[in-house]
Amino acid sequence: MSETADAREADRALKAKHRTMWALGDYPAVARQVVAALGPALVEACAVKDGDQVLDIAAGSGNASIPAALAGGDVVASDLTPELLAVGRQEAEARGATLSWQEADAEALPFEDGTFDTVMSCVGVMFAPHHQAAADELVRVCRPGGTIGLLSWTPEGFIGQMFATMKPYAPPPPPGAQPPPLWGKEEHVRALLGDRVTDVEVRRRTIRVDMFREPEEFRDFFKAAYGPTIAIYRNLADDPERTAALDAALTDLAGSALKDGGMEWEYLLLTARRGGADAG
């Protein structure tokens, strides 16, 4: 097998692993019960309006896609994991939102150049393993003068700290894969987008999470519902000592973040305009 064929096969295997991971547990419950406010925040920042052609990359079950459709956008929700799209279709119907759902790899989008007025991702594209490839694609499919909007967990915020806490218990990442919370660093995203965008606006914000009254409630919910956490615990299935150590580490992290019955989870919200000859 040639080196190129080897690379393609490795990429297919990696994407299959990601697809399986995000189908574990119940990510739609996380989106619906814990971080529901993020999607509308991104849609508002992107100023989605009637008739806009909108692509939501790594849309999951529609945390941002459905609000964008309700705001009047002609929305395509794309995601690697068909199980999440299936839930999204049901939720959209229940909320009276009309949009399209399409299985797609964020690093190889099946859309023509310059198709969309708005290209956005809400704590989604940050989990694509090859950051530059994903950034190149989201820029490519945005029309000149169109809006790019990205909402990502910061490394310093609670979810970034959670990934740092879990890292010692996870298998090593494949060659070339980059940590998701890097998308929460302004300089990293600016470097990914480069001079292909203008009018970059960056805001650091927090979402208030009031669902967990005790640290153990957070730990147990994420162990049951959040794919990346479930995958790491499965990696430890034959090691009760390390499982207990991770239990303790996540409990301690949540305990340090809980104040007045809730937590503040920090994210980076970045919007920009796609540059180009027709960007007026």
In this structure, the number of other CB atoms found within 10 A of the CB of residue 142 comes to 29
Query: Could you tell me which of 178, 173, 171, 94 has the C-alpha nearest to residue 134?
Result: 178
Q: Please give the residue range of the domain that contains residue 79.
A: 9-274
pLDDT value at residue 2: 54
Question: Is residue 279 one of the residues assigned to a domain?
Answer: no
Q: Does pLDDT of 166 surpass 60?
A: yes
H, E, C per residue of the chain: CCHHHHHHHHHHHHHHHHHHHHHCCCHHHHHHHCCCCHHHHHHHHHCCCCCCEEEECCCCCCCCHHHHHHCCCEEEEEECCHHHHHHHHHHHHHHCCCCEEEECECCECCCCCCCEEEEEEECCHHHCCCHHHHHHHHHHCEEEEEEEEEEEECCCCHHHHHHHHHHHHCCCCCCCCCCHHHHHCHHHHHHHHHHHEEEEEEEEEEEEECCCCCHHHHHHHHHHHCHHHHHHHHHCCCCHHHHHHHHHHHHHHHHHHCECCEEEEEEEEEEEEECCCCCC
Domain count along the chain: 1
Q: Any bridge partners for residue 121, and if so which?
A: 150
Mean pLDDT across the chain: 96
Mean pLDDT confidence for 83-105? 98
Q: Is the pTM of this model over 0.85?
A: yes
d(CA 66, CA 48): 12
Higher pLDDT, 46 or 280: 46
Q: Amino acid identity of 246?
A: L
pLDDT band, very low/low/confident/very high, at 86 (cuts 50, 70, 90): very high
Q: Which residue's entry shows tokens 């009047």?
A: 72
177-180-184 Cα angle (round to 5): 135
Q: Does pLDDT of 151 surpass 90?
A: yes
d(CA 231, CA 20): 9
Q: Does pLDDT of 3 surpass 90?
A: no
66-47-86 Cα angle (round to 5): 15
Q: Amino acid identity of 116?
A: F
Question: Is residue 2 one of the residues assigned to a domain?
Answer: no
pLDDT value at residue 174: 87
- For 214, the token pair is 């005790």
Question: Is residue 1 one of the residues assigned to a domain?
Answer: no
Q: Does pLDDT of 84 surpass 70?
A: yes
**The residue count for the chain:** 280
pLDDT tens column, 98-121: 999 999 999 999 999 999 999 999
Q: CATH number of the domain at 103, please.
A: 3.40.50.150
- For 187, the token pair is 């300089």
Question: Is residue 4 one of the residues assigned to a domain?
Answer: no
pLDDT band, very low/low/confident/very high, at 280 (cuts 50, 70, 90): very low
- For 262, the token pair is 């809730």
Question: Is residue 139 one of the residues assigned to a domain?
Answer: yes
pLDDT band, very low/low/confident/very high, at 7 (cuts 50, 70, 90): confident
pLDDT band, very low/low/confident/very high, at 228 (cuts 50, 70, 90): very high
Percent of the chain with pLDDT over 90: 92
Among the ranges 6-10, 141-145, 171-175, which has the highest mean pLDDT value? 141-145
Question: Is residue 14 one of the residues assigned to a domain?
Answer: yes
Question: Is residue 59 one of the residues assigned to a domain?
Answer: yes
Question: Is residue 280 one of the residues assigned to a domain?
Answer: no
